[in-house]
Chains A and B, each alone.
Chain A
């Protein structure tokens, strides 16, 4: 099975549990299980090749420009983690089916679980660190959903938030570290990075990159001082804890340490940061775990401790330690997942996880007792279980490790860790299952159905088998995975067996077990001491920190954003002006190279009217109707200017857009106040005038400087002029650029225009759905209305003009390729022709005669343009390549056909639809019940009823 498919399967399958929950909980769970099973089988098909030492690859260049490739690879390490994720995932799915109650939304649960699973598989199989980062963030997000699954519990929500904050912040740091790493190596592909150890360790940026990446890994793997989120995440349902916090998510950080071990490890920095953090975490976690009364909290801190152990081993940087780390990852996953599940069973059946309220369950829950005991003994490091083997290897390695010149520090602390580890493991057995039977359990505990104990029992079976026959069962896996960690170098000598002779590690183990038993006996007085000792409460510190950050952010935001929009605009403009002034000051301005164009009388007249209109408009803008008229004058002069300066297409477009815009604003003004009150003080106005004047001066000066100088280099306009006819078959270069050279841009533009029209439509719907509708229906116009709302002269004139206007539109459309015109302008003209009908004959009359909804016209325009573009694929050319030719039918003149015309038709339709939809939406505001008339004209000599009613009246 392709690696793409293995990584994608959980994501694809995530849809089904949520859908199939309607068919029952079994269907939902089966869908999740089958998906996982399929991915697991697919993975196992690669097992022989991976264990042989092959690396399976699947590559796909996604965004090569960014160095982001969807490359996957599967080596021993990735295989080990992927099998843990998918294998334990399968067991969790089974367990959760029976653990979750009828009230829990199980479909959502499995969907979240599969999303998380997919993200995890993605992390361990990515061959590109950018891709890995994406999956990394996805695990943070999906685990947030899982931890906060019980939304009604405040602890669940708080725990989820804390986990997301801590791991998310770590992820942010890691992005920085990864980018530095990729920069040093010159590639974001892991395989390249892994082979550039010398370059990376020699780089001055090695230490920053290392620290940033370690922050990411440590937050994810709950290492000191970021360990505090993990116990709070225990508010999640137990299947989630068993999955995320034993086998997968918290191991993602370890995976990353192991993955980057070949390039990052081996330096003193690595040793002192990683090994020390691991050591502290291991000891601290183990001590706290002993004094936790909540079963899951105990397990959570023990997990913190064991993660610290593995981190420490990886931090040692020796090959033997790497082997031990890999081996302990396997062992910890098996016994810890089983322990979490057994804790879940106790909670499920006894309705409490408080150790103080438990005890004597041995008789009531014999199966659970057996499972929990084996797993806990393995955690304590008792032979013949698998935990003993890897703990032995760890102790062995600490004996050979000196820290800062001291040979006893590391083994001594490791021994303390092991001692407490044995103590809390024993406590888990003794205080929960042994002792006398009690009579005050919150519920009547008994063993659960087979569905719930099967998964932990299977894991416990593995615990025993790996312990007894480790070399046979996991030997090859450990060898390949460890080989991958140490970068394919020769593995050191090691043997996975129970009896190594009388080694220092054995004596340490004996001390740890005996000491653990003693500690447990002294638990009561010790716990009293612990409770009385002052210690920092992580949650309180964390919340105080977050509250302080929120306060800071709020102070800054509220200070900057006081709700005065003009102030924001003024600050932005002033800042832009200042920035431009700085650029002008610090740059050099070459001497003008172009001679000025001559000016005739007409341009001066146009210029003067533009200036006068603008000035008047600003001065009189409080009279809104007058301002609208004056802005029309400005638009008119601008379009004439375009025409004078050799841009006939622009002139045509500007003038038609002008008409539509003014109508639109008039419609809006109909409902708004006709006057703007004086609100700003003279001082404020003076300030605004000065900002505006300086900005205007700057922009004017800039364009003047541009216009009086030649281009620095060759522009691409020459290409367009040269190829417009040869390649595009049209002599109107502007139109050929729009529909051919830059057709893709135009395609985007008509989509944007269509979206704008749909937004207007949706806004209208939303506004008319509120109490505004009642207001509009009862509204009295604030200006006197014309007595004749549909004057006969206007109706007749627009009716006669309609075909003429449409003919002009058609003419403009067809000549567009060779002469000024084209789809945009033709569309605007056609739209104006139709708007005239609305204006003359009324909204109701026009709507009645409208056959196609404007949405459909926009849609068909976009589709036609798209289909034209796709059509070029059939001739094997890229999207939107145009074709053209000439036809000569006697007696007609020779004429040209071009696929670009079809594209232009799409533009035409989209423009017509968008303009009309916008204006139609706006005019719906004006509709009032009485306004509906059957007649297009108020007075019609040919109509009898008017005369009749008049006679009667």
Chain B
């Protein structure tokens, strides 16, 4: 199981970073999303893996529980990364609509490349 999770985190990270290194805003946003998955799973996995032991207390018998703390951290992280993605999408969209260009590089004079304004 650990190998699966670790390789998934690695692949997600690699894919996310590759997309972040692209030159248009949309792939960069996708890359950020992939990287968010990777980071969230990474944080979650720091609590060590366990299946069938959710941290829901059982009042009647003694059972094992997985680590609840990383879960709580990741839960808010997921919601916050939605907020972040939404803001980035908004910025990218505003930039594209203003300059009709979604390249993220700056040209020599400091404006977005291909800006016809």
A-B contacts at CB below 8 angstroms, number:
312
Chain A residues 583 to 597 lying within 8 A of chain B, measured CB to CB, are 594, 596-597
Residues of B within 8 A of A617 (CB): 15, 30, 34
A734 at the interface (CB under 8 A from B): yes
Contact with A along B83-115 (1 / 0, CB 8 A): 111110111111011100010111110100100
Could you say which residues of chain B place their CB within 8 Å of the CB of A746? 76
Q: Flag if A776 contacts B5 (CB, 8 Å).
A: no
Does A20 have its Cβ within 8 Å of any Cβ on chain B?
no
A538 CB–B CB distance under 8 Å: no
A contact residues around B55 at 8 Å (CB): 646, 721, 732-734
Question: Once the chains bind, are B67 and A717 in contact (CB under 8 Å)?
Answer: yes
B interface footprint on A742-770 (CB within 8 Å = 1, 0 otherwise): 10011001001100110110011011001
Whether B54 pairs with A648 at a CB distance below 8 angstroms is yes
Q: Is the CB of A732 within 8 A of B41?
A: no
Within 8 A of B (CB), among A638-678: 638, 641-642, 644-650, 653-654, 657, 660-661, 664-665, 668-669, 671-673, 676-677
A712 at the interface (CB under 8 A from B): no
The 8 Å CB contact of B13, one of A689, A699, A756, is A699
Residue contact B10 to A696, C-beta cutoff 8 Å: yes
Task: Confirm or deny: A772 has a beta carbon within 8 angstroms of a beta carbon on chain B.
Answer: yes
A691 on the B face (CB < 8 A): yes
The smallest beta-carbon distance between A750 and chain B, in angstroms, is: 9
Asked whether A603 lies within 8 Å of B1 as measured between CB atoms, the reply is yes
Q: B115 to chain A: closest CB distance in Å?
A: 12
Report if A925-B34 is in contact (Cβ < 8 Å); known contacts: A610-B8, A717-B67. Answer: no
Q: Which residues of A contact B42 (CB under 8 A)?
A: 699, 703
Q: What's the minimum C-beta distance from A722 to chain B, rounded to whole angstroms?
A: 10
How distant is the Cα of A452 from the Cα of B16 in the complex, in angstroms? Answer: 71
Q: A672-B93, A703-B42, A732-B55 are in contact. Are A657 and B6 (CB under 8 A)?
A: no
Q: Does A522 contact B (CB under 8 A)?
A: no
Q: Using an 8 Å CB-CB cutoff, how does the interface string of B8-43 with A read, 1 for contact, 0 for none?
A: 111111111111111110110110011001101110
- Of the listed stretches A231-239, A322-330, A424-432, A560-568, chain B binds A560-568
Chain B positions within 8 Å of A715 at CB level: 67, 69
Shortest CB-to-CB span from B12 to chain A, Å, is 6
Q: Is the CB of A703 within 8 A of B85?
A: no
Given A631-B30, A717-B47, is A921 in contact with B5 using a C-beta cutoff of 8 Å?
no
The smallest beta-carbon distance between A767 and chain B, in angstroms, is: 4
Residue of A nearest to B77 (CB): A749
Q: Which of A603, A647, A760, A767 contacts B86 (CB 8 A)?
A: A760
- Chain B window 57-92, contacts with chain A (Cβ cutoff 8 Å), 1 for yes, 0 for no: 111000001111101101110111111111101111
- Does A672 lie within 8 Å of B102, measured CB to CB? yes
> Does A526 interact with chain B (Cβ within 8 Å)?
no
Nearest-neighbor residue (CB-CB) of B103 within chain A: A679
B5 / chain A contacts, CB cutoff of 8 Å: 641, 645, 703, 707
Contact among B85, B92, B97 for A775, CB-based, below 8 A = B97
Report if A840 contacts B (CB, 8 A): no
> A775 vs B94: C-alpha distance in the bound complex, in angstroms?
12
Docked Cα-Cα span, A666 to B90, in Å, equals: 12
Q: A753 touching B18 by the CB < 8 A rule?
A: no
Kindly state whether residue A890 has any CB partner on chain B within 8 Å: no
A766 touches B37 (CB 8 A): no
A918 to chain B, nearest CB (A): 4
Considering only CB atoms, which chain A residue lies closest to B58 in the complex?
A731
Known: A597-B51, A646-B51. A701 touches B21 (CB 8 A): no
Q: Is there contact, CB below 8 Å, between B76 and A749?
A: yes
**Nearest-neighbor residue (CB-CB) of B106 within chain A:** A563
New A-B pairs, 18, CB < 8 Å, besides A566-B104, A672-B102, A704-B6: A565-B104, A565-B105, A597-B50, A607-B4, A621-B27, A628-B30, A645-B5, A646-B50, A646-B53, A676-B24, A696-B11, A699-B13, A703-B9, A738-B76, A749-B79, A757-B83, A767-B93, A772-B97
Residues of B within 8 A of A (CB): 1-24, 26-27, 29-30, 33-34, 37-38, 40-42, 44-59, 65-69, 71-72, 74-76, 78-87, 89-94, 96-98, 102, 104-108, 110, 113
Can you identify 17 A-B contacts, CB atoms within 8 angstroms?
A563-B105, A564-B105, A565-B23, A610-B8, A635-B37, A661-B86, A664-B89, A668-B93, A701-B6, A703-B5, A721-B65, A731-B57, A737-B68, A759-B90, A818-B56, A914-B83, A918-B83
The interface of chain A, by Cβ under 8 A from chain B, is 563-566, 569-570, 573, 594, 596-599, 603-604, 607, 610-611, 614-615, 617-618, 621, 624, 627-628, 631, 634-635, 638, 641-642, 644-650, 653-654, 657, 660-661, 664-665, 668-669, 671-673, 676-677, 679-680, 688-689, 691-693, 695-697, 699-701, 703-704, 706-708, 710-711, 715-717, 720-721, 724-725, 731-734, 737-738, 742, 745-746, 749, 752-753, 756-757, 759-760, 763-764, 766-767, 770, 772, 775-776, 818-820, 824, 828, 911, 914-915, 918, 921-922, 925
